[in-house]
Amino acid sequence: MSRPQGGRIQVPDDLREILLEFTISYLLEQPGDVINYAVEFFTRLQNNRTTTIVRGPTAGTPDESIISDEEEPPVAARFNNRRKSVFAETYDPEEDDSDEGAPVVFPKSDAQRTRLAEAVRGILLFRSLDAQQMQQVLDAMFEKRVEPSEYVIRQGDDGDNFYVIENGIFDVLVTGDDGIEKVVHTYEGTGSFGELALMYNMPRAASVRAQTPGALWAMDRHTFRRILLKSAFKKRKLYEELLDKVPMLKALQPYERANLADALVPRSLIDGELIIRQGDTADGMYFVEDGNVSIRITRDDGNEHEIKRLDKGGYFGELALVTHKPRAASAYAVGPTKVAFLDVETFERLLGPCMEIMKRNIDDYEEQLVKLFGDKSNLTDVR
C-alpha cells in the first residue's frame, strides 16, 4: 500500500502500471477526447477482469492472469517495442469467433511431415485438438533453424510466433529489476514455448536463447489464436483454481502449474464407479475436481476396508508412480464425482519439484498402515 515514508509518497506498482498502459494506449490510438477514451479503456479493463483468471486482488491488466507478481518482467521491458495491436486486441474467450481468414499452409515433404509429427507428439497444448484442427496446425507450421547464442524470443517484445522444439537446447532467461539476466529454465531438446504472449496479449515474459544449434517449428500468432487459444485458455482457466487448492503443488511455480493444467484430462464418474483397481499397473494419477473418492484396501482376508476419503483438491494414484509398483489400493467415486487425470510421462516431467512432498506423505501412509495392520507390506522401499 502507499504509505508516506520519510515524507515521500510511494506510488503503488499497480497504479503506475495501469496509468502507464493507459497513457501509452492513448498516445498510440490518439482517439481525441481523453475522458471518453478513459471511460472506454477502464470499462474494458474491468469487464475483462471479470472474465479472465486474474489471481487474487492484484490489479494486473486483464491478460496477465497466469503470470504471478514475481514472474512479471519489469515495466520498462514489458512496454518495449509494443505495437498498437497489443492494446487493441484483448482476448475474451466467451466472445471469440475469430474463424475468419484463409488458413496458412506451408507445403512440406514427407520427411518434414514425419519430423514435425514427431516433434509435436507430447506437446500439451495440442492435446485437445481434433483431427481437423491438428491438420491445420501442422499445415501452418514452418521450420526455423537457429545458431548457438541466437535469441529466438526477447523479453518485452510483442509475440509473433509460438515454437515447438525439434532439437537443440534452449535457455529461458528473465531480466529482473536489477537488470541481470538469469536462466530460469532449460529445454533439453523437446517442448514448446512462446505461448504466453499470444495467449494473454502481453509482451514476451522471458527471453529464449539457443545454447546449441537447433531446429524449431514455428506457428504464426494468427493461427495460434484461431485454433489453439480457445481450448488452451479454457483449460488453464478451468484447472487453475483446482491446482491452487492442492497443497503439494505449491512447490511448483505458477507457470509450471499452468503447464500442468494443459496436461490434465477430465473424467466424470458415477456413484460407486471404480477409478483404480488394487494390483493394476499404474498409468497416471488423479486430482479430485468435485465430489468424493474412497480409497480402499483389500487385505489377505479378502475384505475391502476404506482407509481414506478424499474431497476437492485431494489427489491419489501417485504412490505407484513413485514406487514403480502395482496400485496399493483401489479408488471409487462416492456420489457423482469429477477427477482430472495426469499421465505418467507428464507426471515425471512436471512434478519433479513435488517429489519430496509426495514422499513425505507416503511416509505418513506407512505410519498409518503400521498402526492399522501392524505391517507396511507394499511400502518398504519407498524412501
Question: Could you tell me which residues come within 8 angstroms of residue 152 by beta carbon, excluding any fewer than 6 positions away?
Answer: 144, 146, 163, 170, 194, 208, 209, 210, 216
From the list 2-10, 24-32, 197-205, 224-232, the region that binds ligand 1OR by CB under 6 A is 197-205
**Using CB under 6 A, which of 184, 215, 238, 355 touches ligand 1OR?**
184
Regarding 190 and contact with ligand 1OR (CB under 6 A), the answer is: no
Q: Number of residues in contact with ligand 1OR, rule: CB under 6 A?
A: 40
The CB-of-362 to ligand 1OR minimum distance in angstroms stands at 8
**Using CB under 6 A, which of 62, 159, 284, 291 touches ligand 1OR?**
159
**Using CB under 6 A, which of 119, 206, 246, 261 touches ligand 1OR?**
206
Report residue 119 as a C-alpha cell. Answer: 516433434
Tally the C-alpha atoms within 13 A of residue 26's C-alpha that lie toward its C-beta: 17
Helix (H, G, I), strand (E, B) or coil at 282: coil
**Using CB under 6 A, which of 86, 119, 282, 350 touches ligand 1OR?**
282
x/- mask, ligand 1OR, residues 208-227, rule CB under 6 A, reads x-------------------
Question: Could you give the CA distance from residue 229 to residue 162 in angstroms, rounded to a whole number?
Answer: 11
Residue with cell 484430462: 265
Regarding 337 and contact with ligand 1OR (CB under 6 A), the answer is: no
Regarding 77 and contact with ligand 1OR (CB under 6 A), the answer is: no
Report residue 272 as a C-alpha cell. Answer: 460407486
x/- mask, ligand 1OR, residues 237-266, rule CB under 6 A, reads ----------------x-xx----------
Contact 81, 24 (CB under 8 A): no
Question: Could you tell me which residues come within 8 angstroms of residue 250 by beta carbon, excluding any fewer than 6 positions away?
Answer: none
Contact 163, 218 (CB under 8 A): yes
**Using CB under 6 A, which of 140, 219, 276, 358 touches ligand 1OR?**
276
Regarding 204 and contact with ligand 1OR (CB under 6 A), the answer is: yes
**Using CB under 6 A, which of 60, 62, 168, 194 touches ligand 1OR?**
194
x/- mask, ligand 1OR, residues 32-71, rule CB under 6 A, reads ---------------------------------------x
Sheet holding 142-146, edge to edge: 142-146, 214-220, 161-167, 192-193
Q: Which residues of 43-55 are buried (b: 16+ CB within 10 A; e: fewer)?
A: eebeebbeebbbb
Question: Could you give the CA distance from residue 11 to residue 31 in angstroms, rounded to a whole number?
Answer: 27
The amino acid that residue 225 corresponds to is R
Regarding 379 and contact with ligand 1OR (CB under 6 A), the answer is: yes
With 0-12 / 13-18 / 19 or more C-beta atoms within 10 angstroms meaning exposed / middle / buried, residue 197 is: buried
CB-nearer residue toward ligand 1OR: 41 or 199: 199
CB-nearer residue toward ligand 1OR: 41 or 358: 358
Q: Which residues bind ligand 1OR (CB under 6 A)?
A: 71, 153, 159, 172, 174, 184-185, 193-197, 204-206, 208, 253, 255-256, 276, 282, 295, 297, 307-308, 316-320, 327-329, 331, 365, 368-369, 372, 378-379
